[in-house]
Structure 1
């Protein structure tokens, strides 16, 4: 399957790359350009990214971009419920690969709170995210089950987290097939981003995306909530 064969909604664009390295480089350039334009227009820029292993190369390339990093706010679309020092921590991943060199000057807004329970931390993050400036750039990933951020099919809080007009910004979430509990930004908050980019790789993810495009049950495949006009998809084999 080729991404050019997908029936994309009007306004959604797709970019194909021959390798993960080329995708990471291009995605970093696009994000840096958008952040730079936001800083020029309003003095600051807000970037929300997804964790996991896939974005490492993108983070490394983005950290090398010439930006006024002191005026960039960075946060996570979701977080695993583990200490920052844990290998699976998204915050730890950012600190190792993105918030380095000049990019270390960026303000990082974390969802994790070691001194609180998961439910308490979700409430605290919700209050903290009320102070988050509008999201200028959102970079999402997607799982083979159609989840994005930590909006997992079958999770107990999914219906509430997927409300289009929901006022809560952060929810505790359970990933049914992996061991860690999660925190995730809500659909309403994520959908408020000025620019949304979806980065995926491999034929299995392309097949998942094709399935998502063929239906409209958002609870079954939460990525469907973001297949909206102005979305840009970055893909490589």
Structure 2
């Protein structure tokens, strides 16, 4: 498992710009190498301007497949919908084929059934693209993640059942009584590339634990993200503060 790479950017706009550069480079190089690119998006406020930036790029839209690493259990037109945000900022503004946008189902009234349905959708696409068998874990080209001030990522919250699910690709993540649909740890860790986008001073306590030599993985779920491919953390200066992060920083010009 490769060591994580870190970059500290001066502020959130610089972080977004760096993230945009990495995503565009990843899409272009992956399409050039294999003919398509599979991408799982993060929700929250930090990646929204990145998605707006992607809408202005000249990319091989017909070769891109878009998924979501997690979703709130609300309709797409709800203001809290991760898919709705990405569609408004990016996907509705570019000529990407509609059947390449794999929106998480949230209208079943049963989060467990919706999670199973999304897993079926994921397996169907990867079965066609990669020829994987039903018992294999798909390999995403890129998964974007954020991190909450409690150390959660996707909808993998501290000390919840979703953290230990190992026999499914998609499961129900619970934030209190609020059900969400989320990728499982094994699916995230099968990715060829994972990029964390983390901004804000409220993330310092969690970051200290995530990068500590010893800490409770179930208390700070971002520690569980250990992909077999490249792992990049993009942090703004306010998120880092005066933390003494143990890993060496990658140079800003380095790509994944």
Cα distance in structure 2, aligned partners of 1:135 and 1:10: 17
Residues in 2 aligned to 1:64 and 1:217: alpha-carbon distance in whole angstroms: 41
Is the 1:153–1:220 Cα contact (8 Å) retained in structure 2? yes
Pairing partner for 1:111 from 104, 120, 144: 104
Gaps of 5+ in 2: 127-138, 239-256
Report if aligned partners of 2:211, 2:223 keep a CA contact under 8 Å in 1: yes
What residue is the counterpart of 1:89 in the other structure? 81
Query: 3-state DSSP class of the match of 1:123?
Result: helix
Match of 2:132 in 1: none
| CA RMSD of superposed structures (Å) | 2.0
- 44-53 or 197-206, which deviates more: 197-206
Q: Name the CA shift for 1:62/1:169 in 2 (closer, same or farther; >3 Å).
A: same
What does 1:178-189 align with in structure 2 at a 5 Å threshold? 180-189=178-187
Q: Hey, what does 1:226 align to over in structure 2?
A: 225
The offset of 1:146, in angstroms, is 0.8
- Equivalent of 1:146, from 145, 151, 156? 151
Paired residues of 2:41 and 2:68 also in contact (CA < 8 A)? yes
TM-score normalised according to structure 2 size: 0.80
- Give, in angstroms, the shift of residue 26 of structure 1: 1.3
Q: Distance in 2 between matches of 1:181 and 1:116?
A: 11
2-structure distance, mates of 1:101, 1:153: 36
Q: 2:196 matched to 1:198? A: yes
Cross-structure match for 1:159: 164
Q: Tell me by how many angstroms 1:226 deviates.
A: 1.5
**Partner residue of 1:76?**
68
Structure 1 residues not aligned, in runs of 5+:
1-8, 161-165
- TM-score under structure 1 length normalisation: 0.86
Superposed CA deviations along residues 16-56 of structure 1, whole A, max 9, x for unmatched, are 22221121111011111011111011110011111112211
Tell me, in whole angstroms, the C-alpha distance in 2 between the residues paired with 1:157 and 1:101.
Answer: 34
> Aligned runs of 1:1-150 on 2, under 5 Å?
11-102=3-94, 104-105=96-97, 107-133=100-126, 134-150=139-155
Structure 1 Cα separation of the partners of residues 155 and 192 of structure 2: 20
In the TM superposition, what is the alpha-carbon distance from 1:148 to its structure 2 partner? Answer: 0.4
